[in-house]
Amino acid sequence: MLIESDGEALALGFDERHPTGERTYSMYANTTHDTHRATDTATAETAYFSLRGMHTRACESFLETLATDIDGVRDAAASYSAETVRVTYDPGRVDTDAIADGLSRWGYRASAPSPDATDEDRSALAFDRVRTAFAIIVVAPVYMLYLVFFYPVYLGLYPDAYLDTHAIVVGLYGPVVLFTTITVFGVGFPIFRSAYISLRERQLTLDVLIALSALATYAYSVLSLAFFDKAYLSFDVAMTIIVVATIANYVRAADEQRTVADLAERLDGSQSRATRLADGGTETLPVDDCEAGDTLLVKPGEHVPFDGRVLDGRGAVDESLVTGEARPQRKVPGDGVVGGSIAIDGAFEVRVGDGATSLLDRLRALVWDLQATQTNAARLTSRIARRYVPLVSALAVVTFAGWLLAGATVDTALLTGLSVLVVACPVALALAGPLALGRGLATAADQGVAVLDRTLLERIIDIDIVAFDKTGTLTTGELRVTGVTALGEREELLARAAAVESHSGHPIAAAIDERATAIGDVDEFEHHRYGVSATVEGSRTAVGNPTLFNELGWEIPETVRSRVAKIRTAGELPAVVGWDGAATGVVALADTPREGWTKVVERLAADGRRVVCITGDDPQVAARFEASAIDEVFADVAPEAKEGIVQELGAEGTVAMVGDGTNDAPALAAADVGVAMLAGSDFTATAADALLTSDDLDSFVDCLAIARGTRRRLVENLALALSVPVVGTMLAVAGVVTPVVASALLVVGTLLVVFNSRRSLAGDDS
């Protein structure tokens, strides 16, 4: 089969989530129309840009304004979580380079997107690392000067006149002011920019209070140096605020990139290579190295590497893992084929066209979902910020006014008000949610769970019903032949079955192929609801469930029926084989139960969750899974009916669906939480919220424990982040806490959150 793209990214119903939470058809600049935004003509194109330098959600509306101010840009949507901007533009008036240049202002850096850790990503993080290291290096000499000269005076060890000599003024104040100015306004530029943008967009974020605290402390110190008696200079405090906030932002960014890079590494390996036809032979190469005009070979059971159109040949493809369509789709010349769909029968030749979207692009796009989703913890932090910022600011003003009215000097009143601002600086609060979630995601990855949706650890705790697919989930999915009954020649029966099944991707094919060698030419292969059929050496041959033979109107001798009944009673799977209108034998196959599945089910049931099993096997074969801990087994379920069952279960409670990927994509998408076995099919991940990468069901139960531990860790972090400022603020209002002590409390509160987040989640799942 020859497949060629016509130059456009063929969506064919692929419903891909983009970073802002809406749905579109492509992650990259292409000619696909944006169906969610009205455009003037059909020539609009959509492009995505990675944006480094976003610090708050206020950056979203600001960047959208920057983008739409560019001539030729019709619309823009930004995502702070994914650090991405989607732009709809007129290619006749502006190109992507000009848009990137227009967005690269105010300290932002726009570049072409990639969900992997690209050179741009690494350089951006490296720049943040250098900036953080620079801040630490610059602040060190200032603290040394404070330790040697200022703090002894403040503590009464030296007289105030110690700081007034000409040598001290020239050699001490100059470097302190210089280094502080560089740190506050150089290193702290992203924080001040974020605060400005937040106020410009009429949003109160934590960066506003951080910037206000640092700026107020710096301004007081400069004024005190110039006009007051230099009794108390808080340059060290201003530097501490900026340096602690900078380090905190770097830790958070590094944590998030580490999580994303780990997921990309787990997902990228298995389907990252393609087979190219060249010079009468084949060569294997990375999918990313494929170019327009290349012809790729796709064998039965493999994924079609790129979107395209059928030019020659006929066959069936399974698009369920991409489009959600459960039934195999027959393809004839002129039909479109989706990158990521599975070739069920026949070997395909795929010609890569201009602008074709690869299945690897779609796999990598999953990483964007991890970055793009806003968690409940993030929304909670935003709500707290909207109240916390004005409350603290007002309290600082009231404290200043109160002390003035009480007869204090302006200098003392300012110091007291500044102490309130500093001790309430919300650096720790900004870290509480991201670090708790990052620890949960990292722990889940270590336990064999790759989380594709940030909100999973928040949602999975509330699951009421767990629905397991049987084959490939509760079982290993690896069938083996346990017996053969033939009315004629046993070897001929197996050889014919192997010939038909050689064009099928079903596990039965692999099991029979191990026992026999296919014979003759195979033509007119066809998939049926209960099996497959083809013409082998001129005779129509069928392999499948007895129901298939009833539907075809073929005879099933009593001997075969009796054997089928015995196979089912033994809990095994019967595959009837026949040709020329009659069944001539039956092959018994067994599917090995996955080790430890009963304990997993029992653990879920012990937590008060209802557990069900969904299978396409008939009730007799499925009966062995009616364990005491499984409430119900749905047997003889057609692939397309699994979704309906999940929806029905959803009316009774919150549902988690666990499947291996064989016709499970619609059911996974229909569930409140979809979990896929990565070993079963990597591309069920397009519909899943998480992947079990360890091929072990225990990791699913572990994920529930990790989610509970993450929630507990979040609560602990919020308590630590708020308790230190609350207690410190009360003391600061009373005049007990000076700016220096306040900055120390700021550091302590931040370190407590960081260290608490780094602790193991073991023991936090109760």
Residues known to be catalytic: 469
Length in residues, the chain: 766
Tokens matching residue 129: 């690392």
Tokens matching residue 197: 């943008």
**Residue 394 burial (C-beta neighbours within 10 Å; 0-12, 13-18, 19+):** exposed
Beta bridge partners of 593: 475
| Angle between helix 174-181 and helix 119-145 axes, rounded to 10 deg | 160
Long-range contacts of 87-95 (CB under 8 A, 24+ apart): 87/46, 87/47, 87/48, 87/49, 88/34, 88/37, 88/39, 88/44, 88/45, 88/46, 89/44, 89/45, 89/46, 89/47, 90/40, 90/41, 90/43, 90/44, 90/45, 91/43, 91/45, 92/43, 94/70
Do strands 45-52 and 23-24 pair parallel, antiparallel, or not at all (unpaired)?
unpaired
Q: For residues 195 and 185, give the distance between their C-alpha atoms in angstroms, rounded to a whole number.
A: 13
286 HSE (CA, 13 A, CB side): 5
Nearest CA among 384, 402, 439 for reference residue 255: 439
Beta bridge partners of 408: none
Q: Do 459 and 440 form a contact (C-beta atoms < 8 A)?
A: no
Q: What is the DSSP letter of 306?
A: B
Sheet holding 336-337, edge to edge: 281-286, 273-278, 295-298, 348-351, 2-4, 308-312, 336-337
Do strands 23-24 and 632-634 pair parallel, antiparallel, or not at all (unpaired)?
unpaired
Those residues with Cβ within 8 angstroms of residue 397's Cβ, 6 or more apart along the chain or in another chain? 417
Angle at 635 between CA 631 and CA 638, to 5 degrees: 130
| CB atoms near residue 564 (< 10 Å) | 22
Amino acid letter, 602: E
Measuring CA to CA, how many Å separate 755 from each of 251, 435, 439, 723, 758? 12, 10, 11, 16, 5
Nearest CA among 519, 385, 449 for reference residue 700: 449
SS (H, E, C) 52-107: ECCCCCHHHHHHHHHHHCCCCEEEEEEECCCCEEEEEECCCCCCHHHHHHHHCCCC
Q: For residues 159 and 568, give the distance between their C-alpha atoms in angstroms, rounded to a whole number.
A: 96
Do strands 348-351 and 2-4 pair parallel, antiparallel, or not at all (unpaired)?
parallel
Tokens matching residue 270: 């298995």
SS (H, E, C) 398-435: HHHHHHHHCCCCHHHHHHHHHHHHHHCCCHHHHHHHHH
Site of tokens 């988690």: 656
